Amino acid sequence: MKEQLEQLLADAIGKIKADGVLPADHSVNIQLDRPRDKSHGDFATNLALTLAKPAKSNPRQLAEQIIAALPQNTLIAKTDIAGPGFINFTIAQDQLKQQLQAMFDSDRLAVDETSDKRTIVIDYSSPNLAKEMHVGHLRSAIIGDAVSRVSEFLGHKVIRQNHVGDWGTQFGMLLAYMEALDNQEAEYELSNLETFYKAAKQRFDDSETFANRARELVVKLQSGDDYCLRLWNQFIEVSLSHCQEVYDRLGVKLTRNDVMAESAYNDRLPGVIEHLKARGLLVEDQGAQCVFLDEFKGKEGEPLPIIVQKKGGGYLYATTDLAAIQYRQKELGGDYLMYFVDARQSLHFEQIFTLARKAGFIEGDIRTQHFGFGTVMGKDGKPYKSRDGGVTKLADLLDEAERRALELLQQKSSDLTEQQQQEIAKVVGISSVKYADLSKNRTSDYIFDWDLMLTFEGNTAPYLLYAFTRVNSIFSRLGEQGFDESVPFVLEDERELALANQLVRFNEVVHQVYDKAMPHFLCGYLFDLAGRFSSFYEACPILNQDDAQLRNSRLKLARLTANTLQQGLQLLGIPTLEKM
């Protein structure tokens, strides 16, 4: 519908250009918005306001000319000029009904596949393995996962990559600590990586001998020493299995097959340096190999180096990322490389993308994009901490979510057994944490607040999950009896119309989520949809409706609402519940 309207407007612009109203070479960007206020129609554009100047006309007059130039069509029922020169469009009901029917008949709710199919390599989660996953790892995993699901749904080929950090200098310290424990102790201590890390760090800070041993072990590890590799492998295994547990609980689709760790690029790193050298990009600066790009300058305008090899020969985070870009493009066949990584790394990504292009690691139509996100904050406005002031382990956070969800469910009267309630609490708890993250604008920091995410009021997982069960309950009451799906939609009541108008936006919203990698658009959409359904449900009798046509049409609207809620939540990585 939106594309059709855009096309009509593009035609109208073509016509007023031909008529000499607007200079023919003026490039026009058509923007259509959804007015918040229903009385302003279904779509609005500020086109006449932005074009008034080049057209040397006043906006209201230009608006009239644009409207007059629109081709004959059955899409637009009504146009209005509002305020200084906005044009509002009301879409004809026939169109709306056709679209609803198409959604109803489709097994993908008439969401169009993309016309630009790509092989997308999505880098997400990618924690450092030295420590156990903590609250800071939530966003990448949850947002990256939702965007991968949406991309797949739109017909892209998606390759997930978990670029775990398993090769930093901290590993020397961890290996030295493992070495100092006997086998049994090590096994026990490794069961809690957080305390293991702390204990190792403590020793490192306290004992010079230990610190030296740690440094020695990193060097040995990096030169491929068997003994060190064995210890290291043991540690990595434990750490990865902790990650996998978290992914499984979160319903994040990453598996061991998606892990392509930093260390896996080791053999390629000398090649990266060779390549940069051959291209004449390397400069030696105080013994380190660096690249200086004109695009990146420090505060005083001084050149900013990208260090790719340290004085002693060691490689860096950036070097590995360059190798990974090469691998993702050449070996995985990626032509769109997405990165879901904390916004604080945006300079790093700008630098390596620019360098990768300059060095010829990426060529042509390959897209690279860093999608940053803000920090998870506590209510005090500082990065979220556990009660004891430490970082919160994700596993503990999820336990707490499930516990709090159970309390929430127990406050609600229900006919569920204890056992059922516990099962449901798991889904509600985990979903609440995920949804709280997904529903915020990705780029801002957000405040992690249990009370706001675990409530049936507002834009929350419990609200939406409950809304879904409510719609579904209509069909369980209907039982075997079923209903006649062949009747056409009736949209007479304003609540039916409002619901229908929201339903047909699904296609547009899913595409927006992909385009901007912003899942909160979909959350807002689903919340609005659930709200409109509930107004409809209160005002428009369904099961005790005598008029058969009306009853069937309303059942179709309900069915479509249930399917859209379910599909939308699934794209966000949130399962629905039959009962709550």
Pick the piece of the chain touching ligand ARG (CB under 6 A) from 42-50, 89-97, 122-130, 503-511.
122-130
Binding residue count for ligand ARG, defined by CB under 6 A: 10
In the bound state with ligand ARG, the residue whose beta carbon lies nearer, of 41 and 144, is 144
377 to 416, contacts with ligand ARG by CB under 6 A? none
In the bound state with ligand ARG, the residue whose beta carbon lies nearer, of 1 and 308, is 308
Examine residue 128 and tell whether it contacts ligand ARG (CB under 6 A). Answer: yes
Beta strand pairing status for 303-309 and 288-297?
A: antiparallel
Which two tokens mark 411? Answer: 């406050």
Of 280, 362, 274, nearest to 319 by C-alpha is 274
Pick the piece of the chain touching ligand ARG (CB under 6 A) from 64-72, 125-133, 305-313, 353-361.
125-133
Between the CA atoms of 249, 255, 260 and 264, what dihedral angle is there, to the nearest 10 degrees? 100
Pick the piece of the chain touching ligand ARG (CB under 6 A) from 53-61, 126-134, 217-225, 525-533.
126-134
In the bound state with ligand ARG, the residue whose beta carbon lies nearer, of 339 and 527, is 339
In the bound state with ligand ARG, the residue whose beta carbon lies nearer, of 128 and 422, is 128
Question: Rounded to the nearest whole angstrom, what is the least distance from the CB of residue 123 to ligand ARG in the complex?
Answer: 5
Q: Specify the 3-state DSSP secondary structure of 443.
A: coil
In the bound state with ligand ARG, the residue whose beta carbon lies nearer, of 165 and 462, is 165
Out of 145, 321, 335, 496, the only residue in the binding site for ligand ARG (CB under 6 A) is 321
In the block, which residue shows the tokens 């049936």?
456
Task: Strands of 276-315 (E only): list them.
Answer: 283-285, 288-297, 303-309
In the block, which residue shows the tokens 């003994």?
227
Question: Rounded to the nearest whole angstrom, what is the least distance from the CB of residue 313 to ligand ARG in the complex?
Answer: 21
Question: Rounded to the nearest whole angstrom, what is the least distance from the CB of residue 376 to ligand ARG in the complex?
Answer: 14
In the bound state with ligand ARG, the residue whose beta carbon lies nearer, of 57 and 161, is 161
* Cα 503 to Cα 101: distance, rounded to the nearest angstrom: 11
Other beta carbons within 10 Å of 221: 20
**Which residues, other chains included, contact 523 with Cβ-Cβ below 8 Å and sequence gap of 6+?**
435, 438, 439, 459, 572
**Which residues, other chains included, contact 187 with Cβ-Cβ below 8 Å and sequence gap of 6+?**
none
Examine residue 334 and tell whether it contacts ligand ARG (CB under 6 A). Answer: no
Question: Rounded to the nearest whole angstrom, what is the least distance from the CB of residue 322 to ligand ARG in the complex?
Answer: 10
Question: Rounded to the nearest whole angstrom, what is the least distance from the CB of residue 480 to ligand ARG in the complex?
Answer: 52
DSSP-derived secondary structure for 216-236: HHHHHHHTT-HHHHHHHHHHH
In the block, which residue shows the tokens 């039982």?
479
DSSP 8-state symbol, 367? E
* Cα 36 to Cα 33: distance, rounded to the nearest angstrom: 9
In the bound state with ligand ARG, the residue whose beta carbon lies nearer, of 322 and 433, is 322
Examine residue 42 and tell whether it contacts ligand ARG (CB under 6 A). Answer: no
Pick the piece of the chain touching ligand ARG (CB under 6 A) from 70-78, 119-127, 327-335, 556-564.
119-127
Residue 197 is inside which H or E element, if any?
Answer: helix 193-206
In the bound state with ligand ARG, the residue whose beta carbon lies nearer, of 340 and 483, is 340
Out of 165, 429, 462, 519, the only residue in the binding site for ligand ARG (CB under 6 A) is 165
Q: What is the CA radius of gyration of the chain?
A: 28
In the bound state with ligand ARG, the residue whose beta carbon lies nearer, of 356 and 425, is 356
Confirm if 127 and 164 have CB atoms less than 8 A apart: yes
Confirm if 111 and 227 have CB atoms less than 8 A apart: no
Out of 134, 139, 163, 554, the only residue in the binding site for ligand ARG (CB under 6 A) is 163
In the block, which residue shows the tokens 């940053």?
372
In the bound state with ligand ARG, the residue whose beta carbon lies nearer, of 339 and 514, is 339
Pick the piece of the chain touching ligand ARG (CB under 6 A) from 121-129, 241-249, 547-555, 559-567.
121-129
Confirm if 300 and 333 have CB atoms less than 8 A apart: no
**Which residues, other chains included, contact 75 with Cβ-Cβ below 8 Å and sequence gap of 6+?**
1, 4, 5, 8, 91, 92, 95
Out of 126, 170, 459, 507, the only residue in the binding site for ligand ARG (CB under 6 A) is 126
Pick the piece of the chain touching ligand ARG (CB under 6 A) from 120-128, 171-179, 181-189, 303-311.
120-128
Question: Rounded to the nearest whole angstrom, what is the least distance from the CB of residue 352 to ligand ARG in the complex?
Answer: 8
Pick the piece of the chain touching ligand ARG (CB under 6 A) from 101-109, 123-131, 406-414, 432-440.
123-131
In the bound state with ligand ARG, the residue whose beta carbon lies nearer, of 337 and 574, is 337
In the bound state with ligand ARG, the residue whose beta carbon lies nearer, of 123 and 145, is 123
Out of 324, 376, 406, 557, the only residue in the binding site for ligand ARG (CB under 6 A) is 324
Alpha-helical runs (H) found in 251-292: 269-278
Examine residue 259 and tell whether it contacts ligand ARG (CB under 6 A). Answer: no
Question: Rounded to the nearest whole angstrom, what is the least distance from the CB of residue 275 to ligand ARG in the complex?
Answer: 18
Distances (CA, A) of 68 to 13, 18, 29, 30: 11, 14, 19, 17
Out of 12, 186, 254, 341, the only residue in the binding site for ligand ARG (CB under 6 A) is 341
Which two tokens mark 138? Answer: 């939530």
**Which residues, other chains included, contact 135 with Cβ-Cβ below 8 Å and sequence gap of 6+?**
376, 384, 391, 392, 394, 397, 448
Determine the distance from the C-alpha atom of residue 533 to the mean position of all C-alpha atoms in its chain, rounded to a whole number. 26
Confirm if 510 and 108 have CB atoms less than 8 A apart: no
Question: Rounded to the nearest whole angstrom, what is the least distance from the CB of residue 163 to ligand ARG in the complex?
Answer: 4
In the bound state with ligand ARG, the residue whose beta carbon lies nearer, of 265 and 525, is 265
Examine residue 194 and tell whether it contacts ligand ARG (CB under 6 A). Answer: no
Q: Position 224: which residue type?
A: G
Examine residue 123 and tell whether it contacts ligand ARG (CB under 6 A). Answer: yes
Confirm if 8 and 71 have CB atoms less than 8 A apart: yes
Pick the piece of the chain touching ligand ARG (CB under 6 A) from 124-132, 353-361, 419-427, 484-492.
124-132
Determine the distance from the C-alpha atom of residue 314 to the mean position of all C-alpha atoms in its chain, rounded to a whole number. 34
Examine residue 127 and tell whether it contacts ligand ARG (CB under 6 A). Answer: yes
Would you tell me which residues interact with ligand ARG (CB under 6 A)?
123, 126-128, 163, 165, 321, 324, 339, 341
